[in-house]
Structure 1
Amino acid sequence: MSIGNNEKMLENVRKFAFSRFGSLKELADAMGIKPQNLNTYLQGKVKIGPKFLKRLKNVGFNDNIDDVILQNVIKENSVNIDLAGAIELSNTPASRLAQLVGVSPATFTAWQNGTATPTVEELSRLFNQVVALALSSRHAATTPPPKEEPQKATG
């Protein structure tokens, strides 16, 4: 995933190239990329990604690059989880599902809002809980109730 082009940042990259390296070609050489590739970024033909931003940072460019890289890494690592589907499938309230997964209801809510992402372990526990609850409710629904034995007449 790439971040959208930021015209002000691209203009700052151009200024940086001429003030620090004297030309765009020299900046591209310092970054270890072809001048044509640098030009496609600066023209907005290619979206800027974390690799490009890291190369810029390594040659001394700083235009809130840490914030941009961090936001991009968070976006790349975010997981799209259908928690509403998990709640429905497990037939379990969100607060109880959070408890079973071992997180606070606030954390579970943050996952639902997309402001936090579960770790791999938490995601695994969530998956296992949802499957187990869904299977147990399915089994309970398909198992007929025990038949009552007719009472023997006593004489």
Structure 2
Amino acid sequence: MGNRKLTLEDLINVTRNGCEVKISEEAKEKIAIARKLVDDYVEEGRVSYGITTGFGKFSDQVISKEETATLQRNLIISHACGVGNPLPIDAVRGIMLLRVNNLIQGHSGIRQEVIDLLVNMINKGVTPYIPEKGSLGASG
């Protein structure tokens, strides 16, 4: 993934036929460049929404370098809720694949280790429980 557009056929092959996912070196380079930018912003104390500031109405609150990791952890925890029956496994695999496809474009600043974890989960058939009703919409 990363050196060409994801097709519907790719999506079906991964979600229903168990095909493995591999990230291109080109995509890994884009991820590294974006990640370095995030790390540089934190190191420099540069004000950047959601990296060194709070979110939403707290966007005017500057977060110290020491607290940036806590900010990101708290964001994940605050969004980790939902109710209802689990989504079907092929739907969850599709969600995971589409998230990976989005993140490897090199615009998010995510760490390569997170991408590797998601890809390994897909390739090993590990699917998280995703309830059919979440508490808020998806973004990012």
TM over 0.5: no
Q: In proportion to residue count, which structure has more helix?
A: 1
TM-score (norm 1): 0.21
Greater C-alpha radius of gyration: 1
Give the structure-2-normalised TM-score. Answer: 0.23
Report which structure shows greater RCO (CA 8 Å, sep ≥6). 2
Normalized per residue, which structure has more strand? 2
